[in-house]
Amino acid sequence: MPDTHHETRGHGRRRRTFVSSARLALLAVATVSLHPVAAQDAPATAAAPVPITRLDTEQLLARAQFLLAKGEPFKALAVLDLATMRSPKNADAWFLAGKTHIEHVSARDGITALGTCRKLEPDRTGIHLLLGTAFLNTGQPDKALTALRKEQAIAGDSPRLAFAVAMAHMDLKQWADAEKALSRVPPTGDPLSGRALFNLGLVRIVLKHPEAGMAALERAAVEEQDPAQKKWLERHVTMAKRSENGPLEVASVLLGIRRKVGRSPGQPRGPRPLHPATLAVLSPQALRLFGRDLLRKGNAHDAVRPLKLATDKAPNDAETWFMLGAARLRAGETNASIAALERCHRLDPKRHGVHGLLAQACRSSGRYKEALGALAEEAALSGDSPLIALLAGLTYMDMEKWPEAEEQLRRVPGSGDRLSGSALFHLGLTAFERGREQAGVTLLEQAVREERDPEHRQLLAKQLTRVKEGKVTGRQLSAALRGKTRREVMGRALPRGQGFGPEAAEWARLEKTQREARLQLETIRTELAESTAELGRLTKGRQEHQADLEKANADGNGPGAAAARKSIGEIDEACRSVARYLAKHTLAMKTHLTTISVCSKQLNELRKKTGR
């Protein structure tokens, strides 16, 4: 069991795409090394691979457990798929498949597998705890509570069960019940002690016991055993101590994150990255698409590894260097980001967006003149835009050149544009710096009205209220948000590489569709090749068993003939299954080829139109 439910909402389906492809390819392999599984009909000293079709269900389960122990859950799922197909009423196979899905792949698929297991063994120990964890991951705390209570009735209480019950109560905002459940987790000596204390502290803060809450938070940082988690907890305990509005503000933010993305405070964000061995076999195109998918989901740190591997395999692909630069910039690796973007520029000097990203990277590292130069080059290449004007204005603000900053920010439309709210807010800060207090307040009011993002609008309104109530002057507010702090707190997450150049949105949509189709096509081609080879091996095996059958009939060997007929029947069924798979995926391959052709034609037309 994982210490906490891990999968974040919205990630399961995309990651399922990669996992399914890996599993299907693995299922087409004809032989599997048994390692801990000894073939019943082979000598103890034999080390030859055994065809996977000859393994019984128990041997398949042993093989899956061995792969899980090696840290290869995707390969284990391929073996478990075969086990559940061969023995659909084997509860052990369904339980292990569901557990592996929930811990490594997709909570929804895990729920399906465990549902089958529950029908076979309703009172199996551990199944309802896993189901409760999966329901929490998929935003169903009421169902999670029902499953967890049944687990408690079957197996009794445990720290993990108490922690999961507490998470469900927290999702339902049942703070008193959550506090009782968290109190059942040992405060020391258990892997969950640190996270339980941290969540207990948040709950007590919400229940208006800030002193007890802060004490629990501080103790959580001491008790946490995992170094990465410990660092995370320490950082947020410090934030709670230093928060201007007290620890309740930090607690509300963290609990809001939990309700929004379905993970407990203190739990790592985003999907688990693919195993290095799995990444190593992917093509540069597949690695690039996988990295881009992680990047779009906000997992910049995880995206760096596949993109870096893609640049190693295809060092002259400008698009991959561009995405690597974007990922490193979001991950805070400014110098490495600049190096990657400069490499992209050398490979494709007319690539829209590269100068815009370079400007943001230079600005983050304090190289303001270089940032302005890069923005000028982007404007010359792609044409002027509100985004370029906003970035130039923010750069001049960092340089404390207020007239130039105001001039650039006024080039952003005052209404109707997605950047209007940010531009008006920073215009207000510029007015404060130039001594125009009332004008600054007016601009902040306009910014609140124009901002489209509800969370960002609330943040702007909060700063405006502080100025109106006299808690801070306009100049004090501007100074507090200046430089890096202002960029992190108030500078909205600007699009990185998007919004530069004409028809950028259409270009991005076509590229996304085309790359996804190409990745699917490459995966299908690999699987078809493996399946064709598998079909050939099965045919050869059938011929051998047919020869055995004829020999047994000639010798009058009844048991031998029966065994040969049984093997031939199994091989025939496997051949039919592979043939159906080939027909289905051949049709899918034709569909993807059509999609790629249409996107290429539209991209060529857009390329002629934009001169890209």
pLDDT for the residue numbered 214:
85
Lowest mean pLDDT among 170-174, 246-250, 280-284, 333-337: 246-250
For the chain, give the number of residues: 612
Using 50, 70 and 90 to split pLDDT, how confident is the model at 269?
very low
Average pLDDT over residues 227-249: 71
Regarding pTM above 0.75, the answer is: no
| Mean pLDDT of the 249-269 span | 49
Three-class SS of residue 51? strand
pLDDT at 343: 92
Helix axes 73-86, 91-104, angle to 10 degrees: 150
CATH T-level topology, domain 507-610: Helix Hairpins (1.10.287)
Distance between CA atoms of 430 and 409, rounded to whole angstroms?
10
Q: Average pLDDT in the 247-271 region? A: 49
pLDDT of residue 83 exceeding 60, the answer is yes
At 309 the three-state DSSP class reads helix
Question: Which range is least confidently modeled, 34-43, 87-96, 308-317, 386-395?
Answer: 34-43
Alpha-helical runs (H) found in 386-498: 386-398, 402-409, 420-433, 437-450, 454-468, 474-480, 483-489
Per DSSP, the three-state class of 206 is helix
Within 348-385, residue ranges assigned H as helices are: 354-364, 368-382
Q: Sorting pLDDT into bands at 50, 70 and 90, what band is 508?
A: low
pLDDT at 42: 38
Looking at 194-198, 400-404, 488-492, 604-608, which range is the least confident one?
A: 488-492
Rounded to 5°, the CA angle 449-451-455 comes to 115
- Sign for the CA dihedral angle at 377, 378, 384, 385 comes to negative
- Residue with the larger pLDDT of the pair 425 and 37: 425
If you average pLDDT over residues 539-544, what whole number do you get? 84
* Rounded CA separation 333/331 (Å): 6
Q: Do domains 380-501 and 507-610 have the same CATH topology?
A: no
- Are 409 and 395 in contact, with CB atoms under 8 Å apart? no
Out of 14-23, 54-63, 312-321, 366-375, least confident range: 14-23
DSSP state of 452: -
Q: How confident is the model at residue 28 (pLDDT cuts 50, 70, 90)?
A: very low
The better pLDDT of the pair 5, 195 is held by: 195
**pLDDT for res 321:** 93
CATH architecture of 1-156: Alpha Horseshoe (1.25)
Q: Is the pLDDT of residue 264 over 50?
A: no
| Predicted pLDDT at 474 | 83
CATH class as words, domain 380-501: mainly alpha
Between the two ends of the chain, the Cα-to-Cα distance in Å is: 51
Mean pLDDT of 176-201: 87
- Mean pLDDT over each residue of the chain, to the nearest integer: 76
* Mean pLDDT calculated for residue range 418-424: 85
| Better-scored residue on pLDDT, 292 or 41 | 292
Maximum Cα–Cα distance for the chain, whole Å?
107
Kindly indicate the confidence band of residue 300, based on its pLDDT and cuts at 50, 70 and 90: confident
In angstroms, the CA 107 to CA 143 distance is: 14
Count of beta carbons in the 10 Å neighbourhood of residue 558:
10
Q: How does pLDDT run across 154-169, given as a tens digit for each residue?
A: 888 888 889 999 888 8
- Confidence class of residue 8 from pLDDT cuts 50, 70 and 90? very low
Res 252 pLDDT > 80? no
**Residue-wise pLDDT tens digits, 549-588:** 888 888 777 777 888 888 888 888 888 887 887 787 788 7
The pLDDT of residue 303 is 85
Q: Where are the domains of the chain?
A: 1-156, 173-272, 380-501, 507-610
Cα–Cα distance measured from residue 211 to residue 400, given in angstroms and rounded to the nearest whole number: 41
Q: Which residue has the higher pLDDT, 25 or 138?
A: 138
203, 175 contact by CB (below 8 A): yes
Task: Give the tens place of pLDDT for each residue, 450-505.
Answer: 887 777 788 888 888 888 888 888 888 887 776 433 443 333 333 333 444 445 55
Angle at 158 between CA 156 and CA 161, to 5 degrees: 95
CB 426 within 8 A of CB 396: no
Coil, helix or strand at residue 50: strand
Cβ neighbours, 10 Å, residue 574? 19
Check residue 339 and give its pLDDT.
Answer: 92
DSSP H helical ranges for 262-283: 276-280
User: Which residue carries 């457990």 as its tokens?
Assistant: 65
Task: Judge whether 6 and 271 are in contact, CB under 8 Å.
Answer: no
- The helix-helix angle for 193-206 and 227-242 (nearest 10°) equals 20
Q: How far apart are CA 174 and CA 166, in angstroms?
A: 9
Structure tokens belonging to residue 225: 């055993």
